[in-house]
């Protein structure tokens, strides 16, 4: 169980530094996060894009970077990975749509499984361990099959963090199945389908998922209340709003990574600060 991003950093520290291909690296905040990770000895960065702009930005970092001048940074970064010259992909000043188009290209991309999904990770002063939340950025609509692929992706990722049997909560407004609330029906179906293989409950409201006391007060029998590792959100908007709200108003530290491709993808919002970008790098390096 990881309690903090510092625990995650300790997990990575001492390993052979991985090579990160930073796509369209003409971004001073992104470069600051990359310089910090490189100075910590946990990663080496290949910066792809407009070399003249990038070289101006790296002067103040005190770090030496490999810089590749290219007008096609997405394709060239993916090629580096496919050729074994880089270990993971990081989004810079390119659109998410264009980056994912390259990643999912059947001929030359990084497609592996049935589905990619984003995992946001929260370190909250009010919760005793890291909380993983999906999916707030890749899949725009969820059905039973989407959740199954997401859970398998997340479980494979969490194994690398030492989680052998993570606890999943299918979040909803209420704990009872109501045909007028579609996510409660989907949650029931997913739990029925996967409960023999995973520790998963739902539909379950956030207060119960986060507190065994809340479960007792509602007279609910739950094996995961207060010990949930993963929130499976009812839709992308809910996930995105929860993560951004916790970051902006809840005093939480946030990071994120995309899983399900051949390599992790560090996919960031343009508004993320250098600390958030750094924590996301940690998640990608696992």
Per-residue b or e along 233-268, where b marks 16 or more CB atoms closer than 10 Å to that residue's CB? bbbbebbbebbeebbeeeebbbbbbbbbbbbbbbbb
Fold of 1-112+261-286: Rossmann fold (3.40.50)
Confidence at residue 46, expressed as pLDDT on a 0 to 100 scale: 97
Confidence at residue 229, expressed as pLDDT on a 0 to 100 scale: 98
How far apart, in whole angstroms, are the C-alpha atoms of residue 167 and residue 186?
18
Fold of 115-258: Isopropylmalate Dehydrogenase (3.40.718)
Average pLDDT, the chain: 93
Question: Does the CA dihedral 145-150-156-158 come out positive or negative?
Answer: negative
Interval 59-74 mean pLDDT: 95
Task: Tell me the pLDDT band of 215, cut-offs 50, 70 and 90.
Answer: very high
Q: Where do you find CATH 3.40.718.10 in the chain?
A: 115-258
Could you read off the pLDDT of 175-197 as tens digits, one per residue? 999 999 999 999 999 999 999 99
How many CB atoms sit inside 10 A of residue 84's CB? 8
Report whether pLDDT(64) > 80. Answer: yes
How many CB atoms sit inside 10 A of residue 196's CB? 7
Confidence at residue 233, expressed as pLDDT on a 0 to 100 scale: 96
Confidence at residue 11, expressed as pLDDT on a 0 to 100 scale: 92
How far apart, in whole angstroms, are the C-alpha atoms of residue 112 and residue 227?
31
Confidence at residue 132, expressed as pLDDT on a 0 to 100 scale: 97
Q: Where do you find CATH 3.40.50.10950 in the chain?
A: 1-112+261-286
Report whether pLDDT(59) > 90. Answer: yes
Q: Quick one: CA torsion of 174, 176, 179, 183, rounded to 10 degrees?
A: 50
Confidence at residue 15, expressed as pLDDT on a 0 to 100 scale: 87
Report whether pLDDT(49) > 80. Answer: yes
Half-sphere exposure of 129 (CA within 13 A, CB side): 13
> Could you tell me the pTM of the whole model?
0.94
Could you read off the pLDDT of 234-275 as tens digits, one per residue? 999 999 999 989 888 888 999 999 999 999 999 877 778 889
């Amino acid at each position: 169980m990881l309690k903090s991003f510092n625990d995650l950093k300790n997990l990575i520290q001492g390993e052979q530094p991985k090579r990160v291909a930073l796509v369209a690296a003409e971004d001073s905040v992104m470069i600051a996060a990359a310089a910090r990770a490189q100075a910590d000895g946990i990663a080496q960065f290949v910066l792809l894009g407009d070399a003249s702009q990038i070289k101006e930005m790296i002067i103040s970092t005190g770090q030496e970077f490999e810089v590749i001048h290219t007008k096609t940074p997405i394709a060239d970064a993916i090629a580096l990975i496919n050729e074994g010259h880089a270990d993971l992909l990081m989004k810079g000043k390119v659109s998410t749509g264009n980056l994912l188009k390259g990643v999912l290209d059947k001929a030359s991309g990084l497609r592996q499984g049935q589905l990619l999904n984003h995992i946001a990770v929260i370190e909250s002063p009010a919760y005793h361990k890291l909380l993983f939340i999906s999916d707030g950025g890749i899949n725009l609509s969820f059905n039973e099959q989407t959740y199954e692929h997401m859970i398998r992706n997340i479980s494979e990722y969490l194994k690398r963090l030492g989680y052998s049997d993570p606890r999943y909560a299918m979040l909803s407004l209420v704990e009872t199945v109501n045909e007028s609330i579609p996510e409660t029906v989907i949650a029931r179906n997913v739990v029925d389908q996967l409960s023999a293989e995973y520790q998963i409950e739902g539909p379950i409201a956030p207060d119960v998922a986060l507190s065994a006391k809340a479960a007792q007060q509602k007279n609910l029998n739950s094996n995961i209340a207060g010990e949930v590792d993963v929130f499976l959100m009812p839709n992308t908007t809910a996930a995105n709003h929860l993560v951004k709200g916790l970051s902006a108003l809840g005093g939480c530290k946030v990071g994120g990574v995309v899983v399900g491709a051949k390599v992790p993808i560090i996919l960031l919002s343009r508004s993320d600060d250098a600390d958030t970008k750094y924590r996301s790098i940690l998640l990608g390096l696992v």
